Structure 1
């Protein structure tokens, strides 16, 4: 892809998330967005979507109203094994959902930083964070390819169905490596490609911003992680995720091409 194409992709994704951020989403209502694509025809609630991704009822009731917008493809919290005092960065933090779940795990001596390139998402997350228990949570406007985070300052990097949206995934992992401390780790949930996408689907901007057309196969992601410098790389497909992925764009039968996976690696 040319740089112009890359910028077109970023703008398309940003426009999509702006619409989601400005949408007033009721956690218990139907007709809500799933993953990255607002779909007015779904008869499923945000809460139901999140439970399918592995979040517990306790987790879903512990966060500010509006933080959970049903955007994601898994639960990075389940693999992050966060510890008291750690600093965590969430790539593509949206309304702050995973950041708010990470906050009590790292405690007041820890820090949670959400990074998102959509101003409307940052505003929404900051409003959600206006509670005393989230004083150690902050949200920064920026691209995940150019993180507004200092070198070697982070213990854990999380992300939930966002890296697939980047047109420069190698750069994302290079930036992750830069900001992680020695021994730091990745705890990522994302979609991976299981077979070749038809050209018309690959060039469909709606499917790109819907976490489908930008997915990469395991071999490609592994190569990016290795080139960035990571070790102990593990990418684990979750076949059960097809149960909610098939609802993203039913007319394209996307569950035949992508699946959610857990991506782990260490610096």
Structure 2
């Protein structure tokens, strides 16, 4: 790893350790590219890594070092794009090009520029719908202003393929951050002002449509304590499943446990019990860790194949 990349890294976790070979990965707020370069080695030559950042200085460092890393690992599978993580559809390079041709000099041109931006989102998105397997981020989501947080989580959901997941390391608080701390510029840059509560962070994934939300890592020791409020690092994993209604296909599965029942809130309807479940709901459960908790019932032919030797033996035994 080039020293310049490491020296200017400000992360609070390591989501790259949860990646797998062959995956397409999107890193939000990629900075100088540290997580991207680590991810490139994890996903291997069959995988792909995309870093998104809006800071020209950081992008310059990342792009300068990308060929260096590629030469060392033997393949090039990383690219860096300029954009805001709460608006992953808008390519800021393309917008800059448009504004060079039509600079904003009055209100009418400002309105026109907004239309140009929307056209770019639709025709030339920075990151397309359902185009990546994993979204990662390392201590960046808290830097997004509160009013854009909902849009941010919605964008993460949008770009993930069905069955994809988000693995996000970030700073959370144990209490709501008061307004005076939110308005402190120094605390903003220190990942304090924009931190969500731990509960609010998890709820944001749920509200965006994710399921299977779990904390992979949580630092017990606070990273910082400001005015009695504890701020710590967490790494959360959340999955994107099927959207839309479920349909009866006259199929069922048997839940094997370990719990008596599971409320299928992530599926949007019904309960999963040991007595079976509608297959439409189960089809939303795409994560391997969940699907392994179910068995498909045997067909009549499968049952007969198992018991028929015993039936023949019983009927042929003399009285």
Q: Pick closer, same or farther for the CA change 1:254–1:150 going to 2, 3 Å.
A: farther
Matches within 5 A, 1:1-267: 63-68=1-6, 69-78=8-17, 80=18, 82-131=19-68, 132=71, 133=73, 135-147=76-88, 148-167=126-145, 168-235=148-215, 238-242=218-222, 245-246=223-224, 253=226, 256-267=229-240
Relative contact order higher in (CA < 8 Å, ≥ 6 apart): 1
CA distance in 2 between counterparts of 1:151 and 1:117 reads 20
How many Å apart are 1:201 and its aligned residue?
Answer: 1.8
Structure 1 position 198, deviation (Å): 4.2
Partner of 2:203: helix, strand, or coil?
A: helix
TM-score by length of 1: 0.69
Larger Cα-atom Rg = 2
**By how many angstroms is 1:253 displaced?**
3.8
Question: Cα deviations across residues 213-232 of structure 1 (Å, max 9, x unaligned)?
Answer: 10011232233212211111
Say whether the 8 Å CA contact 1:94–1:121 is kept in structure 2.
yes
Residues 132-184 of structure 1: CA distance to partner in whole angstroms, max 9, x if unpaired?
Answer: 33511010010001112111110111100000111112111111111111110
Contact 1:77 1:98 in 2 (8 A): yes
The gaps in structure 1 that reach 5 residues or longer are 1-62, 247-251
- Relative to structure 1, the CA distance from residue 196 to residue 224 in structure 2 (aligned partners, 3 Å threshold; closer, same or farther) is closer
- SS of the aligned residue for 2:171 comes to strand
RMSD of aligned Cα (Å): 1.9
Assess, with a 3 A threshold, how the Cα gap between structure 1 residues 77 and 254 changes in structure 2: closer, same or farther. Answer: farther
TM-superposition CA deviations, 1:70-100 (whole Å, max 9, x none): 401111123x2x2221100100000000001
Q: Which moved more, 1:184-193 or 1:196-205?
A: 196-205
User: Deviation at 1:190?
Assistant: 0.3
Query: TM-score, structure 2 length as denominator?
Result: 0.58
Structure 2 gap segments, 5+ residues each: 89-125, 241-319
